[in-house]
């Protein structure tokens, strides 16, 4: 009988790349009956996945209270063989499902405690070291209760593996068929591009705009920013920078639009600022630039440097130093043959290693372990600890 899976999110859009396009579609292709419970305006079936819509709740407080209850209620109605949730705010819902005897996976996207200290919308008392330590303790305690865990980085795996032995590292590598590559130099323009959903200070927007202003005007280089500014006031502040005259804001782009603009850019930018969660993680955009055959300019964090040096696909810089970023831009402009070779090496690394086609097996293996456990024979008269 076909196993029924219920994936849950209260904070992500219905067609989120990791949740829908990678995990849900991979599970459906593997033969599972997959339902995605998510705030949306309609229920529908797309690419073999049932979208089970709950009412969208305006504002973070309503989303984290009524929205969570909506998701839990709809998920429980699914009567699934396994539940898989993605947001820390759904931890209470996951615990309720476990108390009801359900199998539950917690998919951990980021190091939650480290993000609290720099979320500007949180009141000051929620960003104190004491509260951060309490959140870290509660999350680790809850993780022991779940049937399995999924992490996105080795750092998170090391943090949670002492709490739960059923843990899978499922990195956010790109989908190979999403990105195109042209080896024609005429196709590429002189744009240095950052692509994301949110354009924030933590993602280095001030440094990027300042850096493009330091590139000699004769180079005809420009900066492209895809996404929306958060907060909107940041855009107003950046408009006073000299580099703003050479900056093009593309707005939010769909997946096909992202592939198109990357196929025409000169280089990809991943100069995240040294916030703890950034230093400990890896930017998905780094791999997407590589998949598109772009050389990259990335933050000089250990995890970023390891990928860039292994693939020999770009340059690492101090992300807080706009002049260092500008010098990397100038190097790529003045050395087009090497920039092209960097892009080709990055593309090759994605084709052979850093891609979802290979990574999805870690997800499927964890599902097999939880849904189809293999009985371990024990000889008569002997005892041993089960894994």
Whichever domain contains 267, its CATH number is 3.40.50.2000
Question: Same domain for 208 and 92?
Answer: no
Average pLDDT, the chain: 91
Question: Same domain for 125 and 232?
Answer: no
Question: Same domain for 77 and 122?
Answer: yes
Question: Does a structural domain hold residue 184?
Answer: yes
Question: Does a structural domain hold residue 290?
Answer: yes
Distance from CA of residue 279 to its chain's centroid? 14
Question: Same domain for 119 and 263?
Answer: no
- 0.75 exceeded by the pTM? yes
CA distance 8 to 57: 15
pLDDT at 181: 64
Residue position matching structure tokens 């990027």: 208
Q: How far is CA 13 from CA 72, 285, 316, in A?
A: 17, 18, 32
Question: Does a structural domain hold residue 302?
Answer: yes
CA distance 329 to 211: 8
Question: Same domain for 232 and 300?
Answer: yes
Q: Please state the rounded mean pLDDT for residues 128-147.
A: 90
CA distance 236 to 112: 30
Residue position matching structure tokens 């400990």: 280
The length of the chain, given as a count of residues? 387
Question: Same domain for 159 and 218?
Answer: no
Question: Same domain for 348 and 361?
Answer: no
Sign (positive or negative) of CA dihedral 46, 47, 50, 55? negative
| 54: phi then psi, degrees, rounded to nearest 5 | -115, 160
CA distance 279 to 14: 28
Name the nearest CA neighbour of 295 among 326, 272, 328. 328
Helices (H), the chain: 25-29, 60-62, 68-78, 91-99, 112-116, 129-145, 154-160, 205-214, 233-238, 255-264, 276-280, 284-291, 302-311, 322-334, 336-352, 356-371
Question: Same domain for 139 and 189?
Answer: no
Question: Does a structural domain hold residue 384?
Answer: no
Question: Does a structural domain hold residue 383?
Answer: no
Residue 111 has pLDDT above 90, yes or no: no
Question: Same domain for 226 and 150?
Answer: no
Which residues lie closer than 8 Å to 336 by C-beta, 6 or more apart? 185
Report how many domains make up the chain: 2
263-287 pLDDT, tens digit each: 999 999 999 999 877 887 788 899 9
Q: Are 67 and 111 in contact (CB under 8 A)?
A: no
DSSP tag of 88: G
pLDDT at 380: 45
Question: Does a structural domain hold residue 382?
Answer: no
Distance from CA of residue 321 to its chain's centroid? 25
Question: Same domain for 181 and 121?
Answer: no
163-201 pLDDT, tens digit each: 999 999 999 999 988 886 655 444 467 899 999 989 999
Residue 364 has pLDDT above 80, yes or no: yes
Q: Edge-to-edge, what's the strand order for the sheet holding 104-108? A: 44-46, 49-54, 33-39, 4-8, 82-85, 104-108, 148-151, 167-169
Question: Same domain for 22 and 166?
Answer: yes
pLDDT at 118: 64
Question: Does a structural domain hold residue 385?
Answer: no
Show the domain range for 56. Answer: 4-173+357-371
pLDDT band, very low/low/confident/very high, at 151 (cuts 50, 70, 90) = very high
294-348 pLDDT, tens digit each: 999 999 999 999 999 999 999 999 999 999 999 999 999 999 999 999 999 999 9
Question: Does a structural domain hold residue 387?
Answer: no
Question: Same domain for 144 and 260?
Answer: no
Q: Are 36 and 52 in contact (CB under 8 A)?
A: yes
CA distance 126 to 32: 40
């Amino acid at each position: 009988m076909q196993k029924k899976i219920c994936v849950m999110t209260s904070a992500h859009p219905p067609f989120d790349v990791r949740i829908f396009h990678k995990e849900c579609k991979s599970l459906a292709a593997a033969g599972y009956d997959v339902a995605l419970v998510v705030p949306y305006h309609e229920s529908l079936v797309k690419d073999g996945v049932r979208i089970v819509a709950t009412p969208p709740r305006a504002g973070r407080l309503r989303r984290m209270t009524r929205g969570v209850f909506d998701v839990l209620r709809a998920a429980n109605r699914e009567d699934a063989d396994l539940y898989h949730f993605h947001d820390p705010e759904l931890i209470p819902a996951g615990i309720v499902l476990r108390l009801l005897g359900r199998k539950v996976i917690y998919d951990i996207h980021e190091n939650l405690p480290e993000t609290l200290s720099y979320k500007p919308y949180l009141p000051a008392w929620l960003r104190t070291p004491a509260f951060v330590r309490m959140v870290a303790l509660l999350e680790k305690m809850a993780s022991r209760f779940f049937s399995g865990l999924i992490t996105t980085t080795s750092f998170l795996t090391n943090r949670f593996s002492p709490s739960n032995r059923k843990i899978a590292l499922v990195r956010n590598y790109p989908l190979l068929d999403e990105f195109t590559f042209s080896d024609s130099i005429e196709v590429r323009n002189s744009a240095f591009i950052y692509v994301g959903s949110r354009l924030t200070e933590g993602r280095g927007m001030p440094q990027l705009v300042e850096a493009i202003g330091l590139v000699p005007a004769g180079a005809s280089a420009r900066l492209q920013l895809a996404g929306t500014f958060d907060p909107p006031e940041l855009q107003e502040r950046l408009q006073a920078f000299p580099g703003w005259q050479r900056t093009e804001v593309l707005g939010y782009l769909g997946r096909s639009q992202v592939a198109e603009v990357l196929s025409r850019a000169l280089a990809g930018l991943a100069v995240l600022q040294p916030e703890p969660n950034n230093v400990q993680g890896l930017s998905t955009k780094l791999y997407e630039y590589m998949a598109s055959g772009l050389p990259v300019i990335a933050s000089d964090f250990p995890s970023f440097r390891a990928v860039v040096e292994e693939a020999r696909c770009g340059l690492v810089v101090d992300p807080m130093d706009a002049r260092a970023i500008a010098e990397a831009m100038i190097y790529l402009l003045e050395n087009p043959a090497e920039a092209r070779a960097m892009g080709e090496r990055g593309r090759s690394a994605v084709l052979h290693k850093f891609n979802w086609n290979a990574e999805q097996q870690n997800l499927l293996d964890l599902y097999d372990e939880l849904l189809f456990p293999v009985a371990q024979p024990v000889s008569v008269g002997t005892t041993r600890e089960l894994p």
